[in-house]
Each structure stands twice: as structure tokens, then as C-alpha cells.
């Protein structure tokens, strides 16, 4: 990178972070006029188009940026989000075609595999892979709490109330499974002697740590971690986490093993009215049928105590409905 291009790029970035998108876009374009293969400028122009809901050009720029650096996980992640936007704007056929080419070109890239499967509906994996989850939430961490507030996110509060209804003491060992930035902690802390959190995203965990409400936080994959914590918890809570799992049998089985006899498992998930047990949506999140959730709970040794329909949040200003579930591990 020559120093004059470097200076232009720094100036363009400064304008971008000052929210002067038109001026920033003009400078990124100026860089590309001098160096059409400038990867960061291609990516940045893609991001500006994405920010403006202009998903077709966003996708084009992300693809060009990937030609320059096929390993850049941020570009892969932004390409996935742009394809999601394209589908949302009604360009499903085009988005699917690009997603298939993306998957074929990067068969080893775990972000590409998950998001391309979400857009195409082909070869739906059992759950979101660890790299995809960690990358998505590491990137999302800084804006997570404010974004979720904008979306009227209610799962932590609803689960806190649900657990409170079904416990008779306040000296519990509680696991916040997929704790993220710790939004559930204020709703659980007063019930807990020990409050522990597990999550795959280091950046989300760093924010959870700052709350100083947890006794222990671990970076781990949930199902694996639960399998090593036999009969440890009185309560396991999973707020908006099971939407990263399609097949629920392994994670429900592991939660049953990690709970003490009569322990409670409280969680939210988003439901669909389809006949399929689970489905992967274009957002990269899974939805489940209520029948399937009940069936896997029973198979995993849980007795269902309550399953309430609730509005969990909004998406594109529309309500997202789901279930708030409390189940008890059978003794
Ligand atoms: C939408 S956030 C919800 C966070 C928090 N429970 C809340 O309600 O704010 C989902 C979280 O689940 C975590 N997660 C998803 N799949 C996971 C897995 N297999 N193991 C551990 N954490 C996982 C993500 O890293 C992310 O922080």
C-alpha cells in the first residue's frame, strides 16, 4: 500500500466512523480508482452498501474482497449477512445462486458453510458450528446489548420470572448456558449461591465478566462442557441459545446429565408451524416445532412444567414469537 493510498484509507475510515457515509464511500472509490484490488476498500464499500440496505452491491463488493483475501473471516461474515438482506428484499433466487457458488468455492470455511446452508436450505447442519457462532458473536458483542434493547428483547426477563415461579429457595447453583454478555444475570443473581456462565464467544464473555455478577465464566462449547459437569446444577437457563441448535437431542441429554435430580431447565426458542422438527432460517438461526421440543424433552428425561407462547423480540419491526419453557429433570 503506498503511503498516499494509506492516508486516503485512514481518512475514509474516519469519515465512515463519523457516519459520513457518502464522503467515506467517495474516498474508498477514489482508492479503488488507483488500486482496483485494494481489499480493505472493497470490503468497506460493501459494508457501506450493507448499512444502506443496498444488498446487491454489498454482495458484489464482498465477493471482490474475497477474491483478494479468501481467508478474511469478516468478509465471509458480512457476505452472509448481505445475502440474508438480499433474500429479505425478495431476491431469493439470486441470493441462493450466489450462496451455492460461495459454498462450492469455500468448502472448508465454516462461516460460509453455515450461512450458505441457511440461504439455500441445502444440507442443513445439526447445529451452528463453533467457528460460525464464535465469529458471529465476537463481532456482534460491542453492539449486542443496545441492538437487543432496540428489538425489545425479553427472553432474560421472561426466564427470570419463570424460574422464580418454580423454585422454593434462593441458594441455588445456576448455569447460564450461552450466557452471552450476561443479560440474564440480573434476573438470576438473587436466586443463586453460585451463578456460572458458559459461552463460545470470548468477546461476549468479556462483557459478561464486566458485570461482576457471575462466580465463574468459561469459554466452551455447551454440549461438550455440560457432559463434564455431572449433577452439578439446580437450574440451567438457556435464553435465545437453542436457536443455534437444530437437533436438540444431544444438548438436552447433556443438560439432563448436568442437572441434579429434580433440577430445572428453563429456555426460550423460536417456533414454527411446519411439520419439520427443525428448520434453519436465512438469518442462520433455527426454529423448532413445539411437538419436537416436547418429544426430545421427554426422551431426555424431563417432565414439562410449562410452555408459554410469548413475544421474545422483534425482527424488521415484526414480532418474533416463541416458547418460554420450564422442564424438570425426573428423579
Ligand atoms: C443470542 S445470544 C444470547 C445470549 C444471552 N443468553 C442473552 O439472552 O442475552 C446466543 C449466545 O449463545 C452462544 N452460543 C451459541 N451456540 C453455542 C454453543 N454451542 N456453545 C456455547 N455457546 C453458544 C453464543 O456465543 C451467544 O453468546
C-alpha of residue 3 to centroid of ligand 1, in Å: 42
Share of the chain above pLDDT 70, in %: 99
| Atom 27 of ligand 1: nearest residue by CA position | 180
- Pocket flag, ligand 1, residue 188 (CB < 6 Å): no
Contact predicate 183/157, CB 8 Å: no
pLDDT 10s digits, 47-63: 999 999 999 999 999 99
- Mean pLDDT score, 111-117: 92
Q: Is 226 in the pocket of ligand 1 (CB under 6 A)?
A: no
Angle between helix axes 73-88 and 39-51 (nearest 10 degrees) is: 30
d(Cα 38, Cα 64) in Å, to the nearest integer?
A: 10
C-alpha triplet 50, 84, 17: angle, nearest 5°: 25
Residue 317 confidence (pLDDT)? 84
What's the CA gap between 215 and 275, in Å, rounded? 42
Q: Per CATH, the architecture of 3-122 is what?
A: Alpha Horseshoe (1.25)
134-329 — its CATH code? 3.40.50.150
CA distance 89 to 71: 28
pLDDT in tens, 227-274: 999 999 999 999 999 999 999 999 999 999 999 999 999 999 999 988
Tell me, using a 6 A CB cutoff, whether residue 225 lines ligand 1.
Answer: no
Cβ neighbors of 107 (< 8 A, separation 6 or more) are 113
Q: Whose CA is nearest to atom 10 of ligand 1?
A: 241
The domain ranges of the chain are 3-122, 134-329
CA of 291 to the centre of ligand 1 (A): 23
Task: Quote the ligand 1 centre to 222 CA distance (angstroms).
Answer: 9
Specify the pairing of strand 259-270 against strand 318-329: antiparallel
pLDDT reading at 280 higher than 60: yes
Amino acid at each position: 500500500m503506498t503511503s498516499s493510498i494509506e492516508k486516503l484509507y485512514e481518512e475514509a475510515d474516519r469519515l465512515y466512523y463519523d457516519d459520513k457515509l457518502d464522503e467515506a464511500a467517495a474516498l474508498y472509490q477514489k482508492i479503488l480508482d488507483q488500486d482496483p484490488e485494494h481489499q480493505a476498500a472493497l470490503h468497506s464499500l460493501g459494508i457501506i452498501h450493507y448499512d444502506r440496505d443496498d444488498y446487491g452491491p454489498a454482495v458484489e463488493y464482498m465477493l471482490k474482497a474475497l477474491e483478494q483475501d479468501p481467508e478474511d473471516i469478516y468478509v465471509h461474515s458480512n457476505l452472509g449477512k448481505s445475502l440474508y438482506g438480499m433474500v429479505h428484499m425478495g431476491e431469493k433466487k439470486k441470493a441462493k445462486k450466489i450462496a451455492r457458488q460461495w459454498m462450492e468455492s469455500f468448502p472448508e470455511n465454516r462461516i460460509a458453510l453455515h450461512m450458505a446452508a441457511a440461504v439455500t436450505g441445502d444440507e442443513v447442519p445439526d447445529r451452528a458450528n463453533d467457528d460460525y457462532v464464535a465469529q458471529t458473536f465476537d463481532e456482534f458483542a460491542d453492539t449486542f446489548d443496545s441492538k437487543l434493547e432496540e428489538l425489545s428483547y425479553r427472553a432474560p426477563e421472561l426466564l427470570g420470572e419463570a424460574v422464580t415461579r418454580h423454585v422454593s429457595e434462593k441458594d441455588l447453583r445456576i448455569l447460564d448456558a450461552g450466557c452471552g454478555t450476561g443479560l440474564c444475570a440480573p434476573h438470576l443473581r438473587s436466586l443463586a449461591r453460585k451463578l456460572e456462565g458458559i459461552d463460545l464467544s470470548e468477546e461476549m464473555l468479556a462483557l459478561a465478566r464486566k458485570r461482576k455478577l457471575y462466580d465463574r465464566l468459561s469459554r466452551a462449547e455447551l454440549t461438550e462442557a455440560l457432559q463434564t459437569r455431572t449433577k452439578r446444577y439446580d437450574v440451567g437457563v438457556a435464553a435465545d441459545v437453542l436457536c443455534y441448535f437444530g437437533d436438540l437431542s444431544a444438548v438436552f441429554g447433556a443438560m439432563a446429565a448436568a442437572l441434579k435430580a429434580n433440577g430445572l431447565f428453563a429456555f426460550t426458542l423460536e417456533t414454527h408451524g411446519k411439520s419439520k422438527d427443525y428448520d434453519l432460517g436465512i438469518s442462520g438461526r433455527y426454529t423448532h416445532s413445539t411437538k419436537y421440543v416436547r418429544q426430545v424433552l421427554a426422551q431426555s428425561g424431563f417432565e414439562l412444567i410449562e410452555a408459554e407462547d410469548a413475544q421474545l423480540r422483534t425482527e424488521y419491526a415484526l414480532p418474533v414469537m416463541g416458547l418460554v419453557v420450564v422442564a424438570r429433570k425426573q428423579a
